[in-house]
């Protein structure tokens, strides 16, 4: 391959961290200089919008322009936070690698309270995530909410400005940005299941680009790939979008995969979940596990959940 690979990314600090991580890994595994893998910043629909993403189409708003640039040949690979990637993608594209996953837990962040349980009655929590809001509402129906969007720095600044009493961010993003000290409490996944694929970075390429595929392949983490495959299959079985509160987490020990998934009513009044452990050795088995549990949960939830399709 004579030319390098142009890496497409959003322009937020976290997205740029992820793109430069991929750049560094490609240089290390290929033995080529980092300059052979230039980073190109693209603005996505999700970056421009104000208000709830669900009002503008939900998932795909942070990937659409990157995928269009990929299909047109303006970039050669796109780096995504996998929780932002729709479960049904473009026919000509594929996620070719999943990097080793970072901490999937949610981080409770507050300048006033040392832990989630310290929030007083009627506390105001800032969040744009309907999953986090629904899960917290199930635990604490008294909590009030306000919309809090923007990159990590913007949200932390709004918290400092006392726009709200507390917020939630992904532990993974804070750790990658070396802002782990901002975490007031890392919430156990037993208490709050994360969004499907939270903490995972994916690399998307054109299916026809064999040269890129060869360069990307060494970056793939099998354990992360299998877990993300199962979680996204669960999401797909539930026809999940950012309009429905859905959570999932898979853990693979090299042989067995433990999978937990749930769907929550938006007001927290009902939760439907399932858990299973099965032998998994490849992506087909991982997909089948997640999809099967998703179908089971969907059937159990039935008309008790507003699916907003």
Q: What is the per-residue pLDDT across 79-109, written as a single tens digit (0 to 9) for each?
A: 999 998 999 889 999 999 999 999 999 999 9
Q: Give the mean pLDDT of 14-32.
A: 97
Asked whether residue 277 falls in the same domain as residue 308, the answer is: yes
Asked whether residue 205 falls in the same domain as residue 68, the answer is: yes
* Residue whose token pair is 């990159």: 151
Asked whether residue 128 falls in the same domain as residue 209, the answer is: no
What CATH number is associated with residue 62?
A: 3.40.190.10
Asked whether residue 249 falls in the same domain as residue 281, the answer is: yes
pLDDT at 59: 54
Q: Mean pLDDT, the chain, as a whole number?
A: 91
Residue 103 is a catalytic residue: no
What CATH number is associated with residue 301?
A: 3.30.160.40
**236: phi then psi, degrees, rounded to nearest 5:** -65, -40
Comparing 117-126, 155-164, 218-227, 286-295, the range with the smallest average pLDDT is: 155-164
Q: Which domain holds residue 145?
A: 106-187
Domain count, the chain: 3
Q: Is residue 192 part of a domain?
A: no
Decide which of 153 and 125 is more confident: 125
Asked whether residue 92 falls in the same domain as residue 5, the answer is: yes
Residue 55's pLDDT band, with cuts at 50, 70 and 90, is very low
Q: Is residue 195 part of a domain?
A: no
Catalytic residue chosen out of the listed positions 84, 106, 165, 209: 84
Residues 249-307: tens digit of each pLDDT: 999 999 999 999 999 999 999 999 999 999 999 999 999 999 999 999 999 998 888 76
Taking the CA atoms of 217, 221, 224 and 226 in sequence, report the sign of the dihedral they define: positive
Asked whether residue 36 falls in the same domain as residue 79, the answer is: yes
Comparing 48-52, 58-62, 119-123, the range with the smallest average pLDDT is: 48-52
Residue 12, token pair as written in the block: 């937020």
Asked whether residue 1 falls in the same domain as residue 91, the answer is: yes
Asked whether residue 119 falls in the same domain as residue 141, the answer is: yes
pLDDT tops 50 at residue 56: no
Q: Is residue 194 part of a domain?
A: no
Asked whether residue 226 falls in the same domain as residue 214, the answer is: no
pLDDT at 46: 54
Asked whether residue 213 falls in the same domain as residue 272, the answer is: no
Q: Give the mean pLDDT of 218-245.
A: 91
Asked whether residue 206 falls in the same domain as residue 90, the answer is: yes
């Amino acid at each position: 391959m004579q030319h390098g690979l142009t890496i497409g990314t959003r322009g937020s600090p976290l997205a740029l961290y992820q793109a430069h991580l991929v750049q560094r890994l490609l240089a290390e595994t290929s033995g080529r200089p980092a300059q052979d893998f230039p980073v190109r910043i693209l603005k996505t629909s999700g970056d421009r919008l104000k208000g709830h993403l669900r009002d503008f189409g939900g998932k795909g708003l942070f990937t659409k322009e990157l995928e269009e640039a990929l299909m047109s040949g303006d970039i050669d690979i796109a780096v995504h936070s996998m929780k932002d990637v729709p479960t049904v993608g473009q026919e000509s594209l594929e996620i070719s690698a999943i990097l080793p996953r970072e901490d999937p837990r949610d981080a409770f962040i507050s300048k006033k309270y040392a832990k989630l349980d310290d929030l007083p009655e009627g506390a105001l929590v800032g969040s744009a995530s309907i999953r986090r809001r629904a899960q917290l509402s199930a635990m604490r129906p008294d909590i009030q909410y306000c919309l809090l969007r923007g990159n990590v720095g913007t949200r932390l600044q709004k918290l400092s400005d006392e726009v709200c009493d507390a917020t939630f961010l992904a532990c993974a993003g804070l750790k990658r940005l070396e802002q782990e000290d901002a975490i007031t409490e890392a919430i156990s996944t037993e208490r709050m299941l994360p969004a499907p694929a939270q903490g995972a970075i994916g690399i998307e390429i054109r299916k026809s680009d064999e040269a890129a595929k060869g360069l990307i392949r060494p970056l793939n983490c099998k354990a992360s790939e299998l877990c993300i495959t199962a979680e996204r299959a669960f999401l797909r079985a539930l026809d999940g979008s950012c309009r429905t509160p859905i959570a999932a987490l898979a853990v693979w020990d090299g042989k067995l995969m433990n999978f937990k998934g749930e769907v929550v009513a938006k007001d927290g009044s009902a939760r439907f979940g399932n858990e299973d452990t099965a032998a998994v050795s490849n992506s087909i088995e991982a997909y089948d596990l997640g999809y099967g549990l998703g179908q089971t949960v969907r059937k159990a939830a039935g008309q008790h959940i507003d699916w907003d399709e």
